[in-house]
A and B are shown apart, each in its own frame.
Chain A
Amino acid sequence: MTRFTVNDRPVQYRMDPDTPLLWALRDASNLTGTKYGCGTGDCGACTVDIDGEAVRACQVSLAQTEGRFVTTIEALSPDRGHPVQQAFAAENVSQCGYCIPGMVMAASVLLRRNNDPGDEEIDAAITNICRCGIYPRLRGAIKRAGRIMRGEEQVAAAPPPGITPEEAARTVPALRKP
């Protein structure tokens, strides 16, 4: 029986300890933001943060995760307010969106260590595959997230989830309370 912490909550999975973390997150915890793309550690769509490292969740078993701290895209920020998320929105990065959680997680780990990375550091940290072709906007967005983290820029590009109709009506003149 393996125990560890997922998104600040202690969990214990009643699954085969050989099960890759990805499937415990997706199929047992319903944390479906972490995606399956290849199962071989190549695409990075399943990237999560384990003890501050960007890890392909399809490549670590539950047994190997014992006692560690896992953070998934769902808990990166409560309101899409992480600088990487805001920078991705501001630069209009995402297309189909399938690779995005993994990209965001990998970029957030990179920037926590170095909030002013150069192109080569970014390329080395982001080995994730995207088939839509978000690459042309990716380095710029990550650098912009770095500027936000360094306090040089403020961006509010993506609204938080859970805005009520009443709140919307207060902000948008075209709307009224239902």
Chain B
Amino acid sequence: MGRAPLRQKGKGRQGIDRRALLVGGGAGAGLLLAWAVWPRSYKPNLNAAPGEFVFNAFLKIDRAGQVIVIVPQLEMGQGITTLLPQILADELGADWRAIAVQSAPESPLYANTLLAREWLASDWTRIGGEAGDWALDQYATRKALMLTGGGTSVPMFHDAYRDAGAAARILLCKAAAKRWNVPWESCDIQEGLISDGGQRTLRFGDVVEAAAAFDLPEILPLRQGMEGRLAGQDLPRLDTPSKLDGSHNFAADIRLPDMVFASIRQGPIGDARLESVNEGAARSVTGFLKLVRSERWVAAVGTNWWAANKALDLADPVFMLDGPPVSDERIDAALEDAFSGSDGRRLYAQGDLLPVFEGATILASEYRVDPGLHLALEPMCATARVTDAGAEVWTATQAPGLARTAIADALGIDRASVTLYPVHAGGSFGRKMDFEAAVQAALIARDMGRPVQLLWSRLEDVIHDRPSPPAHARMAAKLGRSGVIEGWLAKVAAPCAMSQTWARIANGALPHEAAAQSADKATRLAIAGMEIPYAVSNWAIDHYPSDVYLPLGFVRGNAHLHSTFFTESFMDELAHLAQMEAMSFRIQMLGGNPRLAHCLSTAAAMGGWQGGIAGSGQGIAAHRIGDAFGAVLVEAAITGGKLMVGRMVAAVDCGDQVNPDIARQQVESGLIYGLACAMGASVPYDKAMPGRAILGRMNLPRLSDIGEITVELIRSTAKPAGATEIAAPMVAPAVANALFTVTGQRFRSLPLLSQD
């Protein structure tokens, strides 16, 4: 892992916040003027060890010829630390065995403007069109908004890594050409060797120092031809070896001299304050050192984590809760009330539904989705050392710049005095967009005057998960004579988890405050994925915002998780009512969407689709997220009251994938995540607490629950899309549709079967 320098170049916060206000206020003209006078280019702020030469923000090469690729994105298991280097190495012509990876320091050059556009788009930026996107890009860049999530990493950075590789190839060729006294255009690089087009070769290390000093041409020529290309090869993941022998260090594997271990309690869900704690009981534990209290949490510190956690149990902290305690009843009531409240808005409308629906037979169905837990196997954790010189924090975070700000604010120190060492995440699924543990660890470490490792217990991780949002949907449609949908209306009541997450991580809102702030704001983020890919002349989507008193968070698939369940389950109902076979029913409305149609027909052909007839146990679903398209066919049954999914067949078109096997792995991963959503990964809530917190009672799939799984990656030359998000949302509706064929019953709630 790369280590950021202790004092990084950081922009002062004050100047930036004024712009943040402008973004929030939506003063378009003022915004453009204010930014026009800002510097437009940034230099890489990479450290170079002796013998290393910085080529650009994404690449260093050393005298031995080691190609050190800089990766700003958080590795959460989806292979980004292999994919981005592979794109660069392919364009450079490097030998894969010479590739090394370092984490990036914070810099505007690594801002994820793609996710920022998606996340922060508002009505006024959409009205602004390209100018609106430009404004968001500028905002994200100025703030050095480094973000990982939403499957944006490859689409966001693909061209940057390709260009970085091309630039380095040209510089190396120029240096070699000068030595050989030939034109640089005649040189090429293959398998890590520079050649003059004939017999002579040089290694990177032979010319690296001279190469870094050459200038680049105005236009970067990209590599031509397919010979010796690394792109499209199933190269081995760079993070594999250390993950096999236990040497891969996660945040809780950091060991520092004099370090101690902490466990934490934050009370029930909501606006909770620490009331009292029995320190005497804690002191009876061997290895217990100290209780560290804050307004909203208490941590026990010990010489080992078990002692700390046991002391905390015995200390039996008592909290006082303000405001309504979350419960299942309250969640349901809040969502139903939202439908009749005044905050709902029509966010998508095409054609005119009114005349279509008037006096017609309308088919209607209601669906619901429960909050879904992340349950990454690695609980929230961070290791921190705070001295007079500043704070150092080791943690896995999807938003490192914002985490750094939050740590500095909590400690009341300058942002430049906070060093964040990015470590890989032991799973995240969106949970590590928040960074509570990093802030808490820093505060505890300061209090202790020695390094502290804070690890949340599984119990704490479940209570204070920020689940995917619960949602209710009221779907209505009118079918035409030939089985065509003439009108489609979807009303969705759901809190906006992404708005809440942003309020927490960017604006420092407490979880219950963030939930309340977004309670009356209808937004497309909460219903992403509800825009149907099918050709329907008249359709509309309404969002009814709500606060369910359960803080919610970023998650794999985000709103698509519930949107696809609603849309694809309802599509299946309509197909049956139209007495049409469910795949053809969809494909007849996909004339304008050949890639999605191709996914559907491929999944159907590979899975031996029997038309969804009664007794077949087969179900199908399709979905699109941005430039990723997919379809899933499953075979499912209920045996002894338990959901059994015998087969899953996925056909996915995510454009041109640099490493097809990693793309397949991502799709497999999504299928299992989606299966978990169908089976469980959810808890009941009562009196501001989850009803279960033991991992074994979460109904997560284990190996014995997994049948035959087939993933077909459709070859495509389209630009690459993220493959991490597309599969998960399709599984639950496909399973629900399959269960209908064997039970005659519609499964309109997620998880599909009652958990208790």
Q: Answer whether A and B are interacting partners.
A: yes
Contact B94 A89 (CB under 8 A): no
User: Does B246 interact with chain A (Cβ within 8 Å)?
Assistant: yes
Cβ–Cβ contact B241 & A131, under 8 A: no
Given A35-B377, A40-B458, A95-B77, answer yes or no on A28-B304 (Cβ-Cβ < 8 Å).
yes
B662-676 near A? 1/0 per residue, CB < 8 Å? 100100111111001
> Which residues in chain B, 240-295, are within 8 Å of chain A measured between CB atoms?
240-250, 252-253, 255, 261, 285-287
Contacting B243 at CB < 8 Å: which of A19, A97, A130?
A97
A35-B426, A161-B245, A178-B63 as given contacts; A89 in contact with B236, CB under 8 Å: yes
In the complex, the chain A residue whose C-beta lies closest to that of B98 is A174
Segment with Cβ contacts to A, from B114-122, B524-532, B575-583, B692-700:
B692-700
The residues in B between 2 and 33 inclusive whose CB is less than 8 angstroms from any CB of A are: none
1/0 per position for A36-58, CB-CB distance to B under 8 A? 11111111010000000000000
Is there an interface contact between A176 and B237, defined as CB atoms closer than 8 Å? no
With A15-B304, A36-B252, A174-B192: A129-B95 Cβ-Cβ less than 8 Å: no
Q: Which residues of B contact A97 (CB under 8 A)?
A: 77, 239, 242-243, 248, 424, 426
B218-238 interface (Cβ within 8 A of A):
234, 236-237
Within 8 Å by CB of A131, from B79, B287, B676, B704, lies B676
Q: How far apart are the CA atoms of A39 and B312 in the complex, in Å?
A: 15
- A100 adjacent to B244 (CB under 8 Å): yes
- Which of A37, A100, A126, A172 is in CB contact (< 8 Å) with B192? A172
Q: A77–B304 Cα gap in the complex (Å)?
A: 27
Beta-carbon contact of B244 and A80 below 8 Å: yes
- Tell me whether A43 and B695 are in contact in the complex, defined as CB-CB below 8 angstroms, given that A34-B246, A92-B661 are known contacts: yes
Q: Is B307 an interface residue (CB 8 A)?
A: yes
- From B78, B669, B695, B709, give the contact of A38 (CB < 8 A): B695
Residues of A within 8 A of B247 (CB): 33, 74, 161
Is residue B97 within 8 Å, beta carbon to beta carbon, of the partner chain? yes
Report the minimum CB–CB distance from A19 to chain B (whole Å).
5
Q: Choose one: A41, A85, A175, A177; the contact of B244 (CB below 8 Å).
A: A85
For residue A118, CB closer than 8 A to chain B, the reply is: no
* B702 contact from A37, A76, A127, Cβ within 8 A: A127
Is B447 an interface residue, CB under 8 A from the partner? no
In this complex, the member of A19, A24, A132 whose beta carbon has the largest number of chain B beta carbons within 10 angstroms is A132
| Nearest CB of chain B from residue A30's CB, rounded to whole Å | 5
Contact, CB under 8 Å: B704 / A123:
yes
A157 to chain B, nearest CB (A): 7
> B702-722 CB contact bits vs A (8 Å, 1 = yes)?
111010010100000000000
Contact A33 B78 (CB under 8 A): no
Q: Give every chain B residue within 8 A of A77 (Cβ-Cβ).
A: 245
The minimal Cβ–Cβ distance linking A89 to chain B, given in whole angstroms, is: 5
Q: How far is the CB of B343 from chain A (nearest CB, A)?
A: 35
In contact, A133 and B671 (Cβ under 8 angstroms): yes
Tell me which residues from 118 to 139 in chain A have a Cβ below 8 Å from any Cβ of chain B.
Answer: 122-124, 126-133, 135-139
Give the nearest-CB partner of B79 in chain A: A95
Chain B neighbourhood of A100, CB < 8 A: 243-244
Q: Does the CB pair A38–B694 fall under 8 Å?
A: yes
Find A37's partner among B98, B237, B458 (CB 8 Å cutoff).
B458
Chain B stretch 670-698: residues in CB contact (< 8 A) with chain A: 670-673, 676, 694-696
A122–B703 CB distance below 8 A: yes
- Does chain B have a CB within 8 A of A3? no
Q: How far is the CA of A26 from the CA of B455 in the complex (A)?
A: 13
Contact of B332 with A by CB under 8 A = no
Per DSSP, are chain A's interface residues mostly helix, strand or loop, or mixed? loop
Given A133-B671, A158-B241, A168-B97, A32 contacting B287 (CB threshold 8 A) = no
- Chain A residues with CB under 8 Å of B287's CB are 15-16
Cβ–Cβ contact A99 & B98, under 8 A = no
Of the candidates B244, B253, B671, B696, the one whose C-beta lies within 8 Å of that of A88 is: B244
Q: Inside 8 A of A124's CB, which chain B residues have their CB?
A: 704
Stretch of B200-208, B504-512, B619-627, B735-743 contacting A (4+ beta carbons < 8 Å): B200-208
The residue in chain B whose Cβ has the minimal distance to the Cβ of A23 is B306
From B453, which residue of chain A is reached at the shortest CB distance?
A27
**Chain A residues whose C-beta falls within 8 Å of the C-beta of B711 in the assembled complex:** 136
Query: Is residue B378 within 8 Å, beta carbon to beta carbon, of the partner chain?
Result: yes
Contacts of A94 in B (CB 8 A): 77, 237, 239-240, 243-244
B77-120 Cβ-contact flags toward A at 8 Å (1 or 0)? 11100000000000000110110000000000000000000000
Identify which of residues 55-70 in chain B touch chain A, using a CB-to-CB cut-off of 8 Å: 62-66
Known: A96-B378, A131-B375, A136-B709. A159 touches B77 (CB 8 A): no
**B573 at the binding interface (Cβ < 8 Å):** no
B700 touches A129 (CB 8 A): yes
B430 to chain A, nearest CB (A): 12
Residue of B nearest to A38 (CB): B695
Partner of A32, one of B77, B206, B249, B377: B249
Q: Is A169 an interface residue (CB 8 A)?
A: yes
Nearest A residue (CB) for B261: A27
Sampled A-B contacts (7; CB under 8 Å) = A15-B307, A32-B255, A95-B665, A95-B669, A98-B250, A98-B426, A126-B702
Ranked nearest first, the 9 interchain pairs of A and B with the lowest CB-CB distance are A33-B246, A174-B192, A133-B672, A96-B77, A98-B426, A97-B243, A42-B696, A95-B77, A73-B246
